[in-house]
Amino acid sequence: LPGWLFAYQLGVSWGEGRIRKRGARLLLIGGGVLFAVLLLVFHYPASMVGVPGEARTNSHPPSLLVVALAAAQSGAAILLRDRLGRLLRKPLLWAPVVVVNLSAMTILCWHQTAMLAAAVPASLAGAGGTAVAGLTTSPDTVGWILARIAWLPVFAGLLVLIARYARRFEAPWRSGTRAANARRALAGLLAAGFAVFALGLA
């Protein structure tokens, strides 16, 4: 939890004007150096998400590598903000950013589902021993990266299809109706059940 709170607090501090250019440079350089040291000296895994077979994970709980990356990325974003702002004054660049930003929470919540919608059928198709590059092979070569990039349009298409139907559930529910109250109760029960499962209380 402190790892995620660190990144959140950086955003709050920047929004309140506490992080200036000098602080941003310190974040970028300090985060970059710490990131390199953790990778090269302490042999932290390079992946930000859990990878089968790795003895250590960076995602649960978030490791120091996540903190270092958050610091470096935040510093770079603050330093580049004015330059990016000037670029986004052009409508052709501004429009897609706005469209994606309006769906940011949908993308966050459903991008893994879209990936699994492609990966699971591919895994079943490769059950006879045929691995699918970029999906069911180990992410340890440049070829895997290129194959994964080739899969990105497929993931994006599936995400658009999923989001088309998921957005209706993300919109504010009408209050006062019996159906709305039932949905709220069901959502509360599902959330409570997931919390019990995640915390190992059952």
**Contacts made by residues 4-7, CB under 8 angstroms, sequence distance 24+:** 4/62, 6/67, 6/70, 6/71, 7/66, 7/67, 7/70, 7/74
- Nearest Cα neighbor of 48 from 29, 72, 30, 64 is 64
Q: pLDDT tens for residues 167-183?
A: 777 777 666 677 777 87
Tokens of 25: 């440079």
Is the model's pTM score more than 0.85? Answer: no
Q: Categorize the per-residue pLDDT at 153 as very low, low, confident or very high, splitting at 50, 70 and 90.
A: very high
Distances (CA, A) of 156 to 125, 143, 171, 193: 21, 21, 21, 30
Q: Which pLDDT belongs to residue 132?
A: 80
More confident residue, 38 or 178: 38
Collect all residues with Cβ–Cβ distance below 8 Å to 13 and sequence separation of at least 6.
Answer: 19
Place of tokens 């985060």: 31
Q: Name the residue with higher pLDDT: 195 or 29.
A: 29
The set of residues, in sequence order, having a beta carbon less than 8 Å from that of 67 and lying 6+ positions away, is 3, 6, 7, 31, 34
The pLDDT tens digits of the residues spanning 40-57 come to 999 988 888 776 667 778
Give the model's confidence band at 62: pLDDT under 50 very low, under 70 low, under 90 confident, else very high. Answer: confident
Give CA–CA dist 95/101, Å, rounded: 10
Averaged pLDDT, 98-105: 88
